[in-house]
Amino acid sequence: MLSVNNVTKKYGSFTALEEVTLDFDNGICAFLAPNGAGKTTLIKMLATLLFPTKGEIFWNGTEITSLGESYRDLLGYLPQEFGYYKGYSPKEYLRYLAALKGVPNADSRIDGLLEMISLTDVKDKKMRKFSGGMIQRVGIAGALLNDPKILILDEPTAGLDPKERVRLRNIISSLAKDRIIIFSTHIVSDIETIANTLIMIKDRRIIYTGSPSKIVEKLKGLTFEMPLGATLPENAIYLSERVGDTGSVVRFALESGNTAENTAAVTPNLEDAFLYIYRDETKGENNASA
At what angle are helices 132-143 and 106-116 packed, to 10 degrees? 140
What pLDDT, on a 0 to 100 scale, did the predictor assign at position 281?
60
**SS3 label, residue 8:** strand
Q: CA angle at residue 285 from 188 to 190, to 5 degrees?
A: 10
Cα dihedral 156, 72, 204, 200 sign: positive
Full-model pTM: 0.86
Domain ranges of the chain: 2-215, 218-282
Contacts of 268 (CB under 8 A, 6+ apart): 216, 219, 220, 222, 223
What pLDDT does 245 receive?
Answer: 73
pLDDT at position 230? 87
pLDDT of amino acid 280: 74
- At residue 151, the pLDDT reads 96
> 249 with 225: CB under 8 angstroms?
yes
- φ/ψ of 113, rounded to 5, equals -70, -40
| pLDDT of 190 | 82
Structurally, what CATH architecture does the domain formed by 2-215 represent? 3-Layer(aba) Sandwich (3.40)
Q: 200-229: per-residue pLDDT in tens?
A: 999 889 999 999 999 999 999 999 999 998
**3 state DSSP class of 224:** strand
Q: How many CB atoms lie within 10 A of CB 118?
A: 12
Identify the CA nearest to 262 among candidates 239, 276, 244: 244
Residues facing 223 on adjacent strands: 253
For 90-109, write each residue's pLDDT tens digit. 999 999 999 998 898 899 99
Q: Which residues of the chain have pLDDT under 70?
A: 281-290
Helix axis angle, 106-116 relative to 90-101, nearest 10°? 130
